[in-house]
Structure 1
Amino acid sequence: MISVVENNIQRELQLLLMKNLGSSTLPGILVALILYLTLKNHTNELGLALWLIAVSASKLFDVYDAKRIIRRGIHLDQTAALKIRLMLLHAMDGAIWGSLAWLSLSTSTNAGSVLILAVLAGIAANSMSILSPVLPVFVVFVVCELGSIVYAVISLNDPAYWAIGIAVALYVVTLMGQAYNSSRTVRNSIQLRFDNLDLIQQLSAASEKAAKALAAAERTNAEKSQFLAATSHDLRQPIHAQGLFLEVLQTTNLSQHQRELVNSISSATNATTEMLHTLLDYSRIEAGVVEPQARAFRLQTLLSKIENELAPQANTKGLLYRSPETHAVVHSDPALIELILRNLVSNAIRYTHHGGVLILCRKHQSRLSLEVWDSGIGIASSQFENIFSEFQQLGNSERDRQKGLGLGLAIVRKMVDLLGLELQLASRPGRGSVFKLSLPLTQLAVLDDDINPAPLRAPQLHARVLVVDDDAIVRQAMAQLLEEWGCHCDLAESQEESLVLARHHPPDLIISDYRLRDHCKGTDVIQAIRSVCKTEIPAILVTGDTAPIRLREAAATGLPLMHKPVSPLLLYKELSLLLPTSQE
């Protein structure tokens, strides 16, 4: 049974043959007419006239029939029958051309005989280029044509003609070989075209499949980002309020037992806040709103801050925390370097169960190697790339929340790339790890950037503050905290309420959530209040949204932007910058 591919190839070969027929019709009829005029005499004139009519009719019918079939089209199940039809028609055509030898050789001069044989040989050669795509059609044509010549020559019983017959027979063999090669070439060309078409279809299908997979992956990634942003926003609201309430509670008179409970609650809240801020850091990087602000700064300031915050965690686990002092001044973004170092040190403490954590600074010509050593569980070399991927953690299959979210090193990698720095990792499983960050040293003078400790008692802020937030618990928590700092608070959950309050009591400062109900933005609320009060009232945006597009929008406003859960200390510092303060 012939395959579909083979039928397609046969159809293309047959179409090619039939399209070639038109080019030989007029020349063939003209050659036949010239032969008639040259060879006719009183003994063969009628026969040659009938021969001329038969050649012309055969040529014209072949062309008409081919055009009709091409116009109608060839179905795959018709190729076998069409091949037989073409063989019969061209066998007849070959026999008609070959009959010229019967009609003229015996009555022609030697010159006429040579002309007859030369023309018939040329007709056979010309037919090879036209008919060879379908080799059996050419074979029957040339056999019928030149076979008639051979038989006519031999029947003359003239030894001089026998040599001509043998030469014609050898010529037929030669033509057959050439026709075979030509047929193979044409067939291979068509086969290659079908192979290319098949390959294009396969590539198109694979490309379409890949495009669908990419679209699905992008959809999944977008859904993941939306889910994380929505979940983060919804979690931040109550935790933000909880942190503010705890700050107020800690200023009240508590018993020792109550204070211990409050401290425990604060620790749990801080752990959750840390994870949420990690998500925020990652979202800010993804949103592209993190822009390095490089300057010269003392590295010791940063090391002291990290030690003050993280050394107690190491001590709680019984680990030795060491960070020898350095006088080095480096040139980079101190906030981003702090983020990198904080994540590296936090990871070192988290994955070290005995021994300790050591932070070293080594100078190498114009650069400084900031190194975090630990004696923790170590990392296999095969995992070096994986640990920098999002949500990847070693030895935390149970997803212990105390081991974080698996974003720390992903953030480190992105920050290192953003700053154009180099981070090296060396580790031995069971022995520990070392991360080395190369920083540029500088001789530039720096201002005093030591961290000033927060005052034991914050100066009172005598100001009227308008708080706009659509969450009632957040408004209540913010009001209680601000009142502890000496502020008078007006609370609104919408733009309409805030405008009514602002008309009656123009605020000294506005604290507004960025995303309010009914698609209202805090920036619009602030602008509306400023228009009503006809003054540029200081304002702070607060948001619990971590969607990249929201972060870009908020960052573009130019207003101070704080992320829920807001640290009371940072909120107080921001208020102090925007409002006059007085010590009570």
Structure 2
Amino acid sequence: MNTPIDNTASFAAKQEMLHLLARQSGRVPFGKIPAILLIAALAWMSAPKAIVAGWACAALAVLMLRWLILSRIDTHFLDRPQTGLNLSVWLSLINGLVMACSLMVFPFIPEVERAVHTLILMGLCTGAIATTAGHLPLFLSYAAPIALPLVIIWGSLATPNQAEWIGPGLAVLIAMFFGLMISLARDTSRLYLRSFQIRSEQSELNSKLQQALNQAEMASHTKTRFLASASHDLRQPIHTLSLFSAALIRRDIDTKSKQIASHMDNAIQALAAQLDTLLDISKLEAGVVDVNIKTIDIHTLLSRLFEEHIQSARQKNLHLGINGLEHLDISTDPILLERIIRNLLSNAIKYTDKGGVDLNFSIEDRRPCIEVIDSGQGIPSEEQAKIFEEFYQLNNPERNRSKGLGLGLAIVKRLTKLIDIDIDLRSSPGKGTRIRLLLPSSSLQSVTHAPREELPQLAWQNIKVLVVDDEADALQAMSTLLQELSCQVSCAHSTQSALKAARVTPPDVLLADVDLNSHEPDLNLIDVFHTQHPSLPIILVGGQADTQPTLGAEATPLIQLQKPVTLETLTQAIRQSLAKV
């Protein structure tokens, strides 16, 4: 019993056969017309001219009729392919019978002309295998009316000038050749149907692959949207906790409570670091990390990272050094480069128990070179390739969470590929590790001679800070921490309320959430404050490191921080912003 799938495949195969007949209909006359004219020429001098001319006109008329019908048969019978094939069989039968009528001149023409006539007819039958793709009903309806009369005529026709066996012998040869043509037609038909089946399967496979690709793209877009949302929504409560924790530590509380607060703060910072790592690797997997090349002063970037990590090094009684710094313009993605170096420094401090870590900068063969060297436990040579794999950690079989997730170096490896940095690792067990980052020579821009700016020591009680955030918890947490620093704090939840607060108490620093959603689409906080307070330093706090604010004016003194913000990062940013004024 035929299944619906078999019926569908058969229907499509018949439609394809009609397309083939329509294409071949325009080519067949180029071979048939010369053949008809040649047969007429062979018989013209020997056979009655009325018979020859009548047959030739009839053959040409049938040929033209067949061409007119078949040239459009695929469009007329697309929804009824079997009816179209039946019509094609009848046309082939008529065509074959008319060609067979040319044998009426056989008694009148000499033996040589008969042989040539026979060769022409058998050649046309052979060509029909190709023009019908071996479709047996089509082939037989044309070839059988020609081949069978040839067998009979040659078997019965007397050849007075030749040996008596030649006629019967040719009859047998024609019969055998006709049988061979039938066999070839069957094989051609099988090959054609198999070819059609393969093309149909390929088309179906391509359709499924396209559907899978569309689904993958949709999943990627969904993942991208999730990551963008997670970067803000997951970091926001941790950011709030981090600020409240830092404020609590600074309060005058008893020693036991201060220890509890310190442990809580360490747990919050560990959670924030692991969240950053997971989001980073997820964005790299999703391919949604953009590269934004800018020109930066490498001195400023490395100095900031050094200041950021000096406290964690001191907590482990480690030396943290920085060497070879100079004010040099480098063309790279500053956010991605900073993330690479931050991961390397954090990793080096984490796995070093005594001695120290050095951050070095140099120029090697016109290529900027950044090195992170530690005196830690070192890495065996057989493990060095594995440490760049996801979730691989050396000497941490118990999966101690204080040692991270094992994703830091995997992120470093992928980010270096994004910004065309060569990374080289050299390490020996017990002697520490050196990781070199070689930037492209094209990234080296020019040397500047601006002296290094020392950040001012601030009288916090004199600093007026305007905090703008539409999330009440985050606003309260940031204002609490700044008040613990003794700053004079004003709060606002929108651009309009921030402008009012600034008129009452002109701030020294504006501290705002980069994702401010104040239902004021026509008011951009940075644009407005640049217009009304052009020299006011602005610190933006964003949900992810690569959030780029819409700047109305590049002259605005601007620093951007990533949530969750630590106390050290916040105070460093305030110092830097006031130093720019």
Match of 1:413? 413
Q: 1:194 to 1:486 in 2, by over 3 A?
A: closer
Match of 2:123? 125
| Counterpart selection for 1:543 from 541, 547, 553 | 541
Match of 1:561? 559
Match of 2:174? 172
Q: 1-side partners of 2:15 and 2:243: how far apart?
A: 76
8 Å CA contact retained: 1:466, 1:507: yes
Deviation digits for residues 122-181 of structure 1 (CA, Å, limit 9, x no counterpart): 344344434664454565244323223313423x7x363736526744873796599579
Deviation at 1:232, TM superposition (A): 1.3
Match of 1:232? 235
1:126-525 correspondence to structure 2 within 5 Å: 126-130=124-128, 133=132, 134=134, 136-137=140-141, 140-154=144-158, 158=160, 160=162, 162=164, 165=167, 168-169=170-171, 172=174, 176=178, 192=195, 195-196=198-199, 198-247=201-250, 249=251, 252=252, 254-272=253-271, 274-275=273-274, 286=289, 288=291, 291=294, 293-295=296-298, 308-312=310-314, 314=316, 340=340, 342-348=342-348, 350=350, 370-372=372-374, 374-375=376-377, 381=383, 384=386, 386-387=388-389, 389=390, 401-413=401-413, 416-417=416-417, 421-425=421-425, 434-437=433-436, 458-462=458-462, 464-479=464-479, 482=482, 487-520=487-520, 524-525=524-525
Q: 1:494 to 1:211 in 2, by over 3 A?
A: closer
Q: 1:470 to 1:379 in 2, by over 3 A?
A: farther
8 Å CA contact retained: 2:97, 2:142: no
TM-score by length of 1: 0.68
Deviation at 1:227, TM superposition (A): 2.0
Q: 1:541 to 1:337 in 2, by over 3 A?
A: closer
8 Å CA contact retained: 1:29, 1:56: no
Task: Name the SS of the counterpart of 1:466 in structure 2.
Answer: strand
8 Å CA contact retained: 2:467, 2:489: yes
Q: 1-side partners of 2:515 and 2:364: how far apart?
A: 50
Task: Name the SS of the counterpart of 2:433 in structure 1.
Answer: strand
Q: 1:236 to 1:169 in 2, by over 3 A?
A: same
Q: 2-side partners of 1:382 and 1:75: how far apart?
A: 68
Q: 2-side partners of 1:220 and 1:528: how far apart?
A: 34
Q: Which amino acid letter does the alignment assign opposite residue 101 of structure 2?
A: I
Matched, 1:96 2:106: no
Deviation at 1:84, TM superposition (A): 7.9
Bigger drift between 31-40 and 505-514 goes to 31-40
8 Å CA contact retained: 2:277, 2:408: yes
Query: Percent sequence identity over matched residues?
Result: 20
Q: Which amino acid letter does the alignment assign opposite residue 436 of structure 1?
A: I
Q: 1-side partners of 2:179 and 2:342: how far apart?
A: 82
Q: 2-side partners of 1:24 and 1:415: how far apart?
A: 66
Q: 1-side partners of 2:432 and 2:87: how far apart?
A: 79
Deviation at 1:437, TM superposition (A): 1.0
Task: Name the SS of the counterpart of 2:459 in structure 1.
Answer: coil
Q: 1:176 to 1:517 in 2, by over 3 A?
A: same
Task: Name the SS of the counterpart of 2:289 in structure 1.
Answer: helix
Query: How many equivalent pairs are there?
Result: 544
Q: 1:518 to 1:139 in 2, by over 3 A?
A: same
Q: 1-side partners of 2:240 and 2:165: how far apart?
A: 109
Task: Name the SS of the counterpart of 1:160 in structure 2.
Answer: coil
Q: 1:77 to 1:193 in 2, by over 3 A?
A: closer
Q: Does 1 or 2 have the higher relative contact order (CA < 8 Å, sep 6+)?
A: 1
Q: Which amino acid letter does the alignment assign opposite residue 150 of structure 1?
A: W
Deviation at 1:502, TM superposition (A): 3.9
Q: 1-side partners of 2:280 and 2:21: how far apart?
A: 68
Deviation at 1:208, TM superposition (A): 3.5
Q: 1-side partners of 2:525 and 2:399: how far apart?
A: 41
Q: 2-side partners of 1:495 and 1:361: how far apart?
A: 43
Deviation at 1:576, TM superposition (A): 3.9
Q: 1-side partners of 2:97 and 2:362: how far apart?
A: 98
Q: 2-side partners of 1:304 and 1:499: how far apart?
A: 36
Task: Name the SS of the counterpart of 1:413 in structure 2.
Answer: helix
Match of 1:582? none
Q: Which amino acid letter does the alignment assign opposite residue 151 of structure 1?
A: G
8 Å CA contact retained: 2:371, 2:437: yes
Bigger drift between 411-420 and 20-29 goes to 20-29
Deviation digits for residues 500-538 of structure 1 (CA, Å, limit 9, x no counterpart): 34444544543333333434489823544565xx55351
Q: 1-side partners of 2:259 and 2:400: how far apart?
A: 24
- Aligned-pair Cα RMSD in Å: 5.7
Q: 2-side partners of 1:272 and 1:530: how far apart?
A: 36
Deviation at 1:267, TM superposition (A): 3.8
Task: Name the SS of the counterpart of 1:286 in structure 2.
Answer: coil
Q: 1-side partners of 2:166 and 2:207: how far apart?
A: 59
TM-score by length of 2: 0.68
8 Å CA contact retained: 1:55, 1:96: no
Task: Name the SS of the counterpart of 2:534 in structure 1.
Answer: coil
8 Å CA contact retained: 1:356, 1:375: no
Bigger drift between 467-476 and 282-291 goes to 282-291
Q: 1:209 to 1:512 in 2, by over 3 A?
A: closer
